[in-house]
Structure 1
Amino acid sequence: MSAIRLTAALPVLVLLAACQPATEAPQPAPRPVLSMLVEPAATAEASFVGVVSPRISVTQAFRVGGTLINRSAGVGDQVRAGAALADLDATTLDLAVETARANLQAAEAQYANAAGAEGRLRALTESDVTTVANLEQAEQQSAAALAGVVQARSRLTQATEQRSYASLAAPFDGVVTAVGAEPGAVVAAGQTVLTIARTDSRDVVIDVPESFVQNLEVGAVFRVSPQLSPATVVDGTLREIAPEADPVTRSWRLKIGVDDAPAQFWLGTTATASLAVASTDTVIRVPETAIRHNAEATSVWVVDPAANIVNARPVELGAVADGQVDIRSGLAAGERIAIAGVNSLVEGQPVAEAGELQ
């Protein structure tokens, strides 16, 4: 009897179950994220310490070898263009000049005799006293004698030029920065005797990280001051950027030209070079951890304060330094972004505030 009652009640139970409301799927819990409020930051001044060096520095050497008998300039001496610097023992060169001069005189005498003989035979030929063949032979001898004169004159010029190589003269106004030989020493051709640097134009040479150099261009203006006299500040122009980084330090070498530098910019001293932007300029700067890299695109997660969800926002990056990256476009001050775990977030994901970067 109870089984019959249970069978009759089954349709009623099924109908009652169908009338019950469906159970909703549980919503995912908001994910805690670390975020920060984007605020404009004043641009900071970047300063680097470098060395004052001459823009133009040349080594002076003799073109011929010999014994150094005189050196009239030493380290630190100021020299004027054309001033005598050093001399070699020129005895052998002087003898070569005298020999070349004597050979020229002999060649000129031979040419004079040959030319006179040609003239006499020409007159005799016109009188039919001698033959044309004799005249042609005389002409050939005269031409050979003239060639000998040209050759002897060229050798004299060469010997005189070689004699001039026994003296060194300053190529420009400058200061002697190094000495390579002392009087009495036998020097070879091309061996450095003196090094002269120009003093009217100087460079401040600095080494900077890659994150700094990537936004620089030749012509940028730096404020430069010697560390021995910080109050002396002049403008310098970036004139050279190294084509590659140093293989050991991975830094880039810059040369900042300083024309008509004050006396405080002594060669070899240290100086500070600063590249500053106007104080009114501001920049959006965020931690590198906030940047999401996807293929060649970059973006940040912007937190929607009303819906408490994150949305991806493409951004254009600028300079990177000390774990911070400048945002050129795509982000405005006052917006909140996620700064941690950016690679595990998805579009529209609910989030909860886990903390804020101060």
Structure 2
Amino acid sequence: MKQVKAIAFLCLAVVALSACSEAEEQATPQVRPALSIIAGPRESEPGSTFTGTVEAKLNVDIGFRLLGRVTARMVDVGDVVRAGDVLMTLDTTSLQLAVRQAEADLASAKAKFDLAQVNASRQATLLRTQATTRERLEEAEQTAEAAEATVKQKEADLTKAREQTTYATVVAQTDGVVSAVSAEVGQVVAAGQSAVTIARLEALDAVIDVPDTLKALQLPDTEYEVTLLSNPQITAQGRVREVAPEADGATRTRRTKLALSTPDKAFRLGSTVVARPIAAVATAIWLPETAIGADQSGGAFVWVIDPASGAVARRPVEAEKAQGGGYDIVSGLQAGERVVSAGVNSLTENQIISFTDEIAR
């Protein structure tokens, strides 16, 4: 009997221990292995030198102020011009005819005005002898005033016609270099159409393309050292003056203009230059494609790992496609944070993982 009780007691103990073991297994969360990466700039980030060209800060488009046919072109691309130099002319036949017509109209108006004055003077003399009425005198005086106004109108028409003849000649308004010619002899140009473009030489820019990820190098007044590619001994200082509002869709770079400070004469328009930022290069955080997940609305997210507990937390980020693959993180993540680099679509919030000690490439 005692043996039966002992066996029963042992069975109950085994069952109790088994239940406790199962409870402990259920209470212990399942740890899942996962690959991870420390957020940071990739090693293959572009260097800190950028090739560009020298361009004029200001380009002036010059055109005719009236419709006409080009009869002469005095300049070619690359010519140095001074203010007042004649660049192009139009056919003036119709303009000269308009001047002659205006002169004839003015002569006719003056003759009518002289006649009206004589008539008014005659009526005034007759009124003193009571040979006419005051009404006829007033009518003659009004006719003379109208004739005088017509003379002034015709004088203005003649001045306008003569001025328009000057519009048939395009002259340079400033010193510079002809950078483009948009009209040829025999071509009919419209009023306001650009005929010649002049690049002014008092201010020059070095134009480069900076990767969109290098935000710090696109800030206003960021300093660069600009060197002539043909002669590295000749340098100039440049500051960021203007940055394109949008990045190029293919290269993901922004056109950046550097204002050159007192450049050497060797910095000619079109010269190839190399620009190096004086400050250190700041890069964007880079992650591989496998580390980026997408939610139902299309937004990007990553799983950030708590190094102490191994728990993961989902965090939305703003990401852009990077050159050479992967994504550049614009916002939402700090450098040095560890994120899951694979299997992002099979994790849950606060899940415990075991991660490897990887670093960003």
Q: TM-score over 0.5 for the alignment? A: yes
Match of 1:237 among 226, 229, 240: 240
Structure 1 residue corresponding to 2:115, chosen from 113, 116, 122:
113
* Post-superposition offset of 1:92: 4.3
Distance 1:278 1:209, change over 3 A: closer
1:300 aligns with 2:295: no
Q: Which moved more, 1:145-154 or 1:252-261?
A: 252-261
How far off its partner does 1:176 sit?
Answer: 1.2
Q: Which moved more, 1:122-131 or 1:202-211?
A: 202-211
**Aligned to 1:22, what secondary structure does the other structure show?**
helix
Shift of 1:301: 0.9
Contact 2:209 2:255 in 1 (8 A): yes
CA distance in 2, matches of 1:176, 1:332: 50
C-alpha RMSD of the superposition = 4.3
CA distance in 1, matches of 2:280, 2:300: 32
In 2, Cα distance between equivalents of 1:47 and 1:317: 27
Q: Give the strand-richer structure, 1 or 2.
A: 1
Match of 1:65 in 2: 68
- Equivalent residue number for residue 34 of structure 2: 33
Q: CA deviation at 1:57?
A: 2.5
Moved more, 169-178 or 323-332: 323-332
Cross-structure match for 1:74: 76
Please report how far the alpha carbon of residue 153 of structure 1 lies from its aligned counterpart in structure 2 after TM superposition.
0.8
Q: Matched residues in 2 for 1:348 and 1:180: separation?
A: 68
What pairs up with 1:255-294 in 2 under 5 angstroms? 255-258=257-260, 260-275=262-277, 277-278=279-280, 285=285, 287-288=287-288
Q: Paired residue for 2:230, among 225, 228, 231?
A: 228
Q: Would the alpha carbon gap of residues 89 and 326 (structure 1) be closer, same or farther in structure 2, given more than 3 Å must change?
A: closer
Looking at structure 2, the residues matched to 156 and 326 of structure 1 have their Cα atoms a distance apart, in angstroms, of 69
Q: Residue 303 of structure 1 contacts residue 338 of structure 1 at CA under 8 Å; is this kept in 2?
A: no
CA distance in 1, matches of 2:31, 2:293: 20
1:94 pairs with 93, 96, 103, which one? Answer: 96
Q: 1:136 aligns with which of 132, 138, 161?
A: 138
Post-superposition CA distance 1:225-270 (Å, at most 9, x none): 343334424213232423x455665654444444654333332333
Structure 1 gap segments, 5+ residues each:
none
In the alignment, residue 188 of structure 1 is paired with which amino acid? V
- Partner of residue 160 from structure 1, selected from 158, 162, 168: 162
> How far is the alpha carbon of 1:314 from its aligned partner?
6.0
Could you say what secondary structure the match of 2:78 adopts? coil
Provide the rounded CA distance (Å) in 1 between the counterparts of 2:317 and 2:352: 23
- The residue number in structure 1 matching 2:17 is 22
2:51 matches 1:49: yes
- In the alignment, residue 273 of structure 2 is paired with which amino acid? A
Contact 2:224-2:275 within 8 A present in 1 as well: yes
CA distance, structure 2, for counterparts of residue 181 and residue 332 of structure 1: 56
1:100 counterpart SS class: helix
Q: Aligned equivalents of 2:330 and 2:242: distance in 1?
A: 28
The CA deviation at 1:351 is: 1.6
Report the secondary structure of 2:17's partner residue.
coil
What secondary structure does 1:68 align onto?
strand
Aligned to 1:151: 153
Stretch of structure 1 that moved more, 256-265 or 168-177: 256-265
Contact 1:207 1:252 in 2 (8 A): yes
- Aligned identity (percent) is 32
Compute the displacement of 1:148 (Å).
1.8
State how far apart, in whole Å, the 1-side matches of 2:303 and 2:206 are.
39
Amino acid at match of 2:12: A
Report the AA paired with residue 268 of structure 1: G
CA separation of 1:256 and 1:331: change in aligned 2, threshold 3 A: closer
CA gap of 1:94–1:300, structure 2 versus 1, over 3 A, is same
TM value normalised by structure 1: 0.73
Distance 1:28 1:103 in 2: 105
